[in-house]
Amino acid sequence: MKSLPHILILVFATLSSCGTQKGKQHEPEALETTTALSIEESVLQFAQYVLGDDLHMAVHQRVPMNYWDVQMIFEANDWKSDHFKNYTTFANTPHLDKRGDRNYTEVILFMVPFKDIPSAQHAFDAIKGSSQIRIKDLEGLAGLLVEQVQIYERIRMSGGLLTLKDNYVFYLVESCENPPIGDSWENYEHLFLSSIGAPRETIEVVNADCGVDEMAIATMKVRKRAFE
């Protein structure tokens, strides 16, 4: 029987568009935006609202066939060409360590822009499938799926939300501690969803809560935006 591999960790040689984005923190208000924003602009507003002046946003180049931890969950076994070229991290600057903003425990959000909507949908469908597999079911096997399932085992214990909007796939990082802002992880999730969806829109998610040991495929209804 083969032993399960350790998750591969690769130090990226290429890092672009790395800089600090600044914003102001303020208490939630029931404000609904009337300005049409791109998804990236709206997500940046969410990150600025949560982290304020401590926000550090960076774009990381995808390294084909050399998977680095979180990047692996956005890959698919049947791809023969690049479907995404980079991903963006939104991190809390004071908490960054020597591994920087590629350490998923210090990042609040990963955003992956795919080349088109079908590619993003394919990636999210793969996430829904692989997130339901347990590591004990892959005993003796090796490869990308095993590496992905090992990551999902961690997310089951700490919590997290993965979702899709247009040609973007997102991973909202959670923990067993208090959320970065707000009084509950559920409200924090809704705060994020309001940055990518319209009020009352239904969005499909893969969701895990701390210690529940489950990744549930569900739908959530978007609430009104509480930030601008």
- The answer to whether residue 228 is domain-embedded is no
What pLDDT is stored for residue 80 in this prediction?
A: 58
For the residues 100-113, what does the mean pLDDT come to?
Answer: 77
Task: Decide if pLDDT at 76 tops 70.
Answer: yes
15 and 61 Cβ atoms separated by less than 8 Å: yes
- The answer to whether residue 9 is domain-embedded is no
- The answer to whether residue 3 is domain-embedded is no
Task: Decide if pLDDT at 60 tops 70.
Answer: yes
For the residues 37-49, what does the mean pLDDT come to?
Answer: 95
CA-to-CA distance for 160 and 150, rounded, in angstroms?
14
Q: What is the mean pLDDT of the chain?
A: 81
Taking the CA atoms of residue 16, residue 87, residue 209 and residue 164 in that order, the dihedral angle to the nearest 10 degrees is 150
- The answer to whether residue 192 is domain-embedded is yes
CA-to-CA distance for 85 and 60, rounded, in angstroms?
9
Q: What DSSP character marks residue 112? A: E
What pLDDT is stored for residue 98 in this prediction?
A: 47
What pLDDT is stored for residue 211 in this prediction?
A: 86
- The answer to whether residue 190 is domain-embedded is yes
What's the number of domains the chain is made of? 1
Give the least confident one: 11-20, 66-75, 113-122, 148-157. 11-20
What pLDDT is stored for residue 16 in this prediction?
A: 35
Strand partners, 110: 89, 171
CA-to-CA distance for 207 and 190, rounded, in angstroms?
12
| Domain that residue 209 falls in | 15-221
Give the least confident one: 21-25, 142-146, 161-165. 21-25
Length of the chain: 228
- The answer to whether residue 154 is domain-embedded is yes
Q: What pTM does this model have?
A: 0.80
Which residue intervals of 68-173 are DSSP H helices? 117-130, 144-158
Take residue 112 and report the two structure tokens written for it: 């992956």
Confidence of residue 62 (pLDDT cuts 50, 70, 90): confident
What pLDDT is stored for residue 142 in this prediction?
A: 85
Classify residue 201 by burial, with Cβ atoms within 10 Å: 0-12, 13-18, 19+.
middle
CA-to-CA distance for 25 and 50, rounded, in angstroms?
7
Task: Decide if pLDDT at 21 tops 70.
Answer: no
For the residues 178-182, what does the mean pLDDT come to?
Answer: 94
- The answer to whether residue 10 is domain-embedded is no
What pLDDT is stored for residue 34 in this prediction?
A: 32
